[in-house]
Amino acid sequence: MALERPKSIKTGADAREALMAGFARTAWLAGLTLGPHGGRVVLERADDYPEMTRDGFTAIRDLEDDDRFATLGTELIKACIKKTRDAVGDGSTTTALLAGAFAEAGLRLVAAGNDPSSVRRRFDGLAQEALAALTRQSAPVAGRAMLAQLAGIAADGDDEIAGLVAEAVERLGPEGVISVSYHQGVDTTIDYMSGMAFDHGLLSRNFLLKAGETEVALDKPHLLMCQGELTEAAQVVPALEAARAGGRSLLVLAQDVSDQALAALLTNHREGTVRCAAAKGPESGIYRHAATDDVAVLTGGRMVGEETGLSPEKIDAAALGTAKRAVVDGVSTTIFGGSGEPHAVERRAEQIRDAIEHERKSYDRGKYEARLARLVSGVANIRVGGVTESAWKARYKACENALNTARAAAADGVVPGGGVALARAAFALEDGADGSGEPERRAFARALGMPFRRIAGAAGCEPSLALEALRSAGTEIGFDARTGGFRPWREAGVVDATRVTATALTNAAVTAGQLLSTGCVVALARRPDAV
């Protein structure tokens, strides 16, 4: 029987070389954008103007090769880069360069007669040594100016966005609730307001109406907060009518919303009568009621349920909470600008503080502390503007990258930027040689220095000479690619978030190891009629 899409198979060294063709090409292309002197990549877009980018992930996002095996290699490194971006929001180019360098170094060792699995295990151990060397170089963030420098690098030099991000992270902390939204205007602004975020998201993905939509944003929502489950349409109709009468949207927080109640919300949401979303309240189990009641206090509403004596069928607008905005995605809910009375919020906060002081069980104390943080920390919303729609999109993405980088730096500190931290980790590996596995150690250390060599070369320096100059310089000296000279890295502001650099190194080493240990590749054969 003939297969609709026959498969092609390669094994052993042939399989690894076929994957490496796309893997190496993709790493090289992403690496072109690295550093302040990195080049721009022009991308052809179907039915649109060409796009110019200096973002490594954007440059390789749509790459595909005529050779299916090479395309699989490309997809392997794309997945690696995406994992880094999802985790820390930055570091895509460094991840690609390191992954390509590790894979190339490993394949040379395999070609020299070493066992692929042994090389992979050895590289895994060396990656852990390099991570330890990075940690030793890490230093705390020195104020808002350093945060702004880091955010500016991630935002591709947009100083306005960098300043706002640094301000928000310094004010609310690395775990603070800071969101990014579009703004129909030229200016980019930041709003601080009361609000909270918690880890429960949409109870039904049917609230996402458009393909590719990932969240439901509700402007000026009413909030219906319930202790139990809602199953009957009559339980949500009064809240829907109150929201429609007031020209508001509706957010329902309950243990569950199903059957006729869910159908009523979805019908109103799809038809545009009342924009809706339903999510679980914060916490779970015995902690849910108190945490959801905190939302009621913050938004000026009342809890609905048997314990409160208030039935959802009989509520009016006065019992519903209100806020300026709410955003619900698949895993979290954020409420902005709750309209609860300040003195009521402070009274609840004092009650929780008193409970923390008297609670002896560490787990319960942690729950109280989480409630207090949600109630009093507040939220920030960075509203990104732009001259055109494409400018909005570009600045929005730049703001997200800057925010992720600044948060990572505030949480875990910074290391010398410009590839210097990785190069010094390579020096540590070379100095720690114990006589065993020397070829692997030398190869891995050389690969670690690839980002620095690329940045130094783009700045007009001879990479090998620059690397030796760095080796002989003190640990406080870094490389400023803008001037092509060596100077104290803190003074120059050439820094990277420790978490970003460590994540890039980890993901690159893991992905290169996967390629090295590949024994067989099965790819779809090209269709005979493909153009």
- Residue spans of beta strands (DSSP E) within 199-282: 215-219, 221-226, 229-230, 249-253, 256-257, 276-279
Say yes or no to pLDDT of 148 above 80. Answer: yes
pLDDT at residue number 392: 82
Domain extents for the chain? Answer: 7-139+415-524, 144-178+391-412, 195-340
Of residues 290 and 379, more confidence is placed in: 290
pLDDT at 437: 61
Angle subtended at Cα 424 by Cα 420 and Cα 426, rounded to the nearest 5 degrees: 115
Task: Report the alpha-carbon distance of residue 26 to residue 97 in Å, rounded.
Answer: 9
Stronger pLDDT, 527 or 6, i.e. the higher one: 6
Q: What mean pLDDT is predicted for residues 306-331?
A: 91
Question: Would you say domain 195-340 falls under CATH 3.50.7.10?
Answer: yes
Nearest partner of 55 among 24, 79, 81, judged by Cα: 81
Instruction: Identify the top-confidence range among 41-55, 347-361, 380-394.
Output: 347-361
> Taking residues 340-369, what's their average pLDDT?
90
CB-count burial class (<10 Å; 0-12, 13-18, 19+) for 370: middle
User: What is the radius of gyration, based on Cα positions, of the chain?
Assistant: 27
Under the banding of pLDDT at 50, 70 and 90, the label for residue 281 is confident
Kindly state the average pLDDT of the residues 213-227: 94
What's 144-178+391-412's CATH class?
A: alpha beta
Provide the percentage of residues in the chain whose pLDDT is more than 70: 97
Rounded to whole angstroms, the Cα distance separating 379 from 90 reads 23
pLDDT of res. 428:
93
Which pLDDT score, from 0 to 100, does residue 1 have? 45
* pLDDT, tens only, 454-477: 999 988 899 999 999 999 998 899
**How does residue 2 score in pLDDT terms, banded at 50, 70 and 90?**
low
CA angle 98/158/96 to nearest 5° reads 10
Residue 190: which H helix or E strand, with range?
strand 189-193
Position 528 scores a pLDDT of 46
pLDDT in tens, 38-64: 888 888 877 778 888 877 888 888 888
435: which residues sit within 8 A by CB, 6+ positions away?
none
> In sequence order, what are the residues at sequence separation of 6 or more whose Cβ sits closer than 8 angstroms to the Cβ of residue 473?
486
What pLDDT is attached to residue 187?
Answer: 85
Q: Is the pLDDT of residue 531 over 50?
A: no
Distance (Å, rounded) from C-alpha 204 to C-alpha 265? 11
The set of residues, in sequence order, having a beta carbon less than 8 Å from that of 184 and lying 6+ positions away, is: 385
Residue pair 126/505 in contact by the 8 Å Cβ criterion: no
Give, for 193, the enclosing helix (H) or strand (E). strand 189-193
Task: Identify each DSSP E strand in 410-476 by its residue range.
Answer: 414-416
Q: Check residues 49 and 82 and name the one with the higher pLDDT.
A: 82
Contact indicator for 43, 97 with CB cutoff of 8 Å: no
Label residue 97 by pLDDT band (50, 70, 90). very high
Torsions phi, psi of 266, nearest 5?
-65, -40
Determine the distance from the C-alpha atom of residue 301 to the mean position of all C-alpha atoms in its chain, rounded to a whole number: 33
Cα separation, 447 vs 441, in Å, equals 10
Could you tell me what percent of the chain has a pLDDT over 90?
57
Residue 434 pLDDT: 62
The DSSP element (H or E) to which 196 belongs, if any, is strand 195-198
Once rounded to an integer, what is the mean pLDDT over residues 356-366?
A: 88
Cβ(270)–Cβ(208) below 8 Å: no
Q: Which CATH architecture has domain 7-139+415-524?
A: Orthogonal Bundle (1.10)
The DSSP bridge partners found for residue 496 are: 415
Q: What is the DSSP letter of 202?
A: B
Q: Sign (positive/negative) of CA torsion 364, 369, 370, 372?
A: positive
Token pair of 428, please?
């540590």
Q: Measured in whole angstroms, how far is the alpha carbon of residue 212 from the centre of its chain?
A: 18
